[in-house]
């Protein structure tokens, strides 16, 4: 894997969801490596797509405002591409429960449209899909590994699991070179902080920047692992460059699990503002709490040589600095 980055020089790369948090960081890195990048994004309000995410790169890549639910657009877009990084999706667990059919369309049905487009128009393309730790549901043992049963607790987890399995079926049935990365709590610059429906880290950072109180339920001792976005991008690049990843599912993960209370206090400390408050569990929230959750990344470490390398303190400092400097671009 020493030369995996060189494989992207002059590579034609398509990034769905490329104006979002992870997608834009990946697209920028690909451009820096010499790739010819095409971004596909629908810019649906509240989903995280933001044209400012590619500031400074506008003339170095191509942007196509399109919806992955449109099979005709996808058939045209996948033609001639060497690799597809498939990050388009609805990632809010709360929104999936409020609008389950929208989640079904974006996270399940549209994945079939993308895979069918590849099957007919570009069967040799490499495809790396963004799965989620949420597919596991409440852990039966820790750390989570890829053999842990999948028992999602919300509609989003069900549909993301279906999207992943479509990718695996198209590998075994049609020979498409697909890989899935099950992401955990990704954080870093360009993360959505407009609302709290796409993960807690961005929202904690926003509250601290604004000098407000981060409220935690119960004793705040639930453990989580976090992965800095540059490390996540590196995992996608490794998976897209190595045929050993074809047909494989990999967990990502963080260096060391941290309690939500410790994390919130660390964010407040780095930001130099805000505070942390413990509050009683709302009954409806307590019923769906899944306790401690963190993943093993041993499999991807063995196959692709990936490990998270960014210390949490450093990653949070970079995120808080970025969000503070560009607050008006992300909070409004």
**C-alpha closest to that of 40 among 75, 4, 11:** 75
Positive or negative torsion for Cα 61, 66, 70, 76: negative
The percent of residues in the chain predicted with pLDDT above 70, rounded, is: 96
* Residue span of the structural domain in which 19 resides: 4-190+227-254+294-309
CA dihedral 258, 289, 146, 303 (to 10 degrees): -30
Burial annotation 287-322 (CB, 10 A radius, 16+ → b, else e): eeeeeebbbbbebbeebbebebebebeebbebbbeb
Q: 126's torsion region: left (phi>0), alpha (psi -120 to 50) or beta? A: beta
Residue 99 lies in a domain: yes
Number of separate domains in the chain: 1
**C-alpha closest to that of 185 among 218, 153, 150, 144:** 144
Strand 126-132 and strand 36-41: pairing?
A: unpaired
Residue 276 lies in a domain: no
Residue 330 lies in a domain: no
> What pLDDT shows up at residue 257?
97
Residue 110 lies in a domain: yes
Residue 108 lies in a domain: yes
* pLDDT grade for 1, boundaries at 50, 70 and 90: low
Residue 96 lies in a domain: yes
DSSP H or E stretch at residue 262: helix 260-271
DSSP for 198-231 reads S-HHHHHHHHHHTT-EEEEETTS--EE-EEEHHH
Looking up residue 90, the CATH number of its domain turns out to be 3.40.50.720
> What pLDDT shows up at residue 281?
87
How many angstroms from the chain centroid is the CA of residue 199?
11
Residue 158 lies in a domain: yes
Residues 50-104 pLDDT 10s: 999 999 999 999 999 988 888 889 999 999 999 999 998 877 777 778 888 888 8
* pLDDT grade for 49, boundaries at 50, 70 and 90: confident
- Which residues in the chain belong to E strands, given as ranges? 12-16, 36-41, 62-65, 83-86, 126-132, 177-183, 185-187, 213-217, 223-224, 226-228, 248-251, 258-259, 275-279
pLDDT of residue 287 exceeding 70, the answer is: no
pLDDT of residue 198 exceeding 70, the answer is: no
User: Could you give the CA distance from residue 235 to residue 229 in angstroms, rounded to a whole number?
Assistant: 10
Residue 278 lies in a domain: no
């Amino acid at each position: 894997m020493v030369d995996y980055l060189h494989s992207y020089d002059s590579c034609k790369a398509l990034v769905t969801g490329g104006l979002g948090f992870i997608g834009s960081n990946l697209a920028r890195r690909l451009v820096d490596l010499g790739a010819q990048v095409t971004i596909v994004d629908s810019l649906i309000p509240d989903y995280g797509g933001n044209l400012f995410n590619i500031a400074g790169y506008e003339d170095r890549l191509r942007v196509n405002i399109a919806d992955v639910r449109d099979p005709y657009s996808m058939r045209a877009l996948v033609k001639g591409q060497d690799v597809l990084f498939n990050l388009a999706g609805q990632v809010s667990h709360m929104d999936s429960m409020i609008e389950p059919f929208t989640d079904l369309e974006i996270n399940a049905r549209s994945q079939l449209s993308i895979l069918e487009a590849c099957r007919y128009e570009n069967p040799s393309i490499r495809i790396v899909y963004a799965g989620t730790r949420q597919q596991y549901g409440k852990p039966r043992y820790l750390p989570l590994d890829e053999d842990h049963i999948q028992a999602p607790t919300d509609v989003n987890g069900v549909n993301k699991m279906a999207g992943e399995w479509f990718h695996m079926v198209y590998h075994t049935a049609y020979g498409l070179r697909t890989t899935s990365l099950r992401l955990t709590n990704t954080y870093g610059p360009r993360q959505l902080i407009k609302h709290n429906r796409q993960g807690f880290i961005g929202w904690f950072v926003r509250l601290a920047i604004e000098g407000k109180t981060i409220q935690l339920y119960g004793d705040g001792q639930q453990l989580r692992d976090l992965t800095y976005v540059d490390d996540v991008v590196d995992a996608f690049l490794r998976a897209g460059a190595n045929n050993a990843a074809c047909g494989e599912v990999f967990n990502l993960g963080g260096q060391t699990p941290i309690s939500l209370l410790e994390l919130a206090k660390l964010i407040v400390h780095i930001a130099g503002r805000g505070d942390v408050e413990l509050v009683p569990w709302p009954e409806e929230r307590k019923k769906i709490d899944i306790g401690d959750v963190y993943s093993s990344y041993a499999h991807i470490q063995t196959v692709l040589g990936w490990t998270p390398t960014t210390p949490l303190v450093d990653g949070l400092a970079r995120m808080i600095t970025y969000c503070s400097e560009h607050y008006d671009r992300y909070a409004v």
